[in-house]
């Protein structure tokens, strides 16, 4: 089995020694979590140890509107930088489930100046007896196998 052995982010010459150390410690912690090396515990009423303690320096505790707090922390100055590809490419929020993604996306779209537009799509054709006149052009019956 092959594995990654070099964290290329740490080889960036623009990183200060403090940033490099901080990133290295975080990367090692993530590896330790993935390899089951971080101690786990169980909550009352549970039978398995499935919870871990996340270090305080990577947790953002907040009172109030949690989605807006995390968005403001990750996307500071969003209103003036939302159209900058490098600005957006350097940031992300990892979410545990798609419902959280949808909630954050709705908030972010609301922060983009101007009117929003909704575009809808459908990924399958309707199963019907009649074929549209351009069916063969769109879904050519001849397939080539490589």
Q: Indicate the length of the chain as a whole number.
A: 146
| Span 66-105, pLDDT tens digits | 899 899 989 999 999 999 999 999 999 988 899 999 999 9
| Span 18-66, pLDDT tens digits | 999 988 998 899 889 988 999 999 999 999 998 999 888 887 777 888 8
The DSSP result for 1-28, as a single string, is -------GGGG-TTS-HHHHHHHHHHHH
């Amino acid at each position: 089995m092959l594995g990654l052995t070099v964290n290329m982010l740490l080889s960036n010459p623009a990183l200060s020694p403090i940033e490099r150390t901080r990133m290295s410690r975080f990367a090692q912690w993530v590896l330790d979590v993935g390899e089951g090396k971080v101690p786990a515990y169980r909550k009352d009423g549970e039978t398995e140890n499935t919870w871990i303690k996340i270090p305080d320096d990577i947790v953002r505790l907040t009172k109030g509107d949690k989605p807006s707090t995390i968005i403001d922390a990750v996307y500071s100055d969003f209103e003036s930088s939302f159209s900058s590809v490098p600005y957006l490419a350097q940031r992300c929020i990892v979410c545990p489930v798609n419902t959280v993604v949808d909630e954050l996306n709705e908030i972010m779209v609301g922060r983009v100046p101007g009117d929003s537009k909704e575009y809808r799509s459908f990924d399958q054709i309707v199963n019907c007896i009649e074929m549209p006149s351009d069916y063969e052009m769109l879904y050519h019956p001849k397939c080539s196998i490589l």
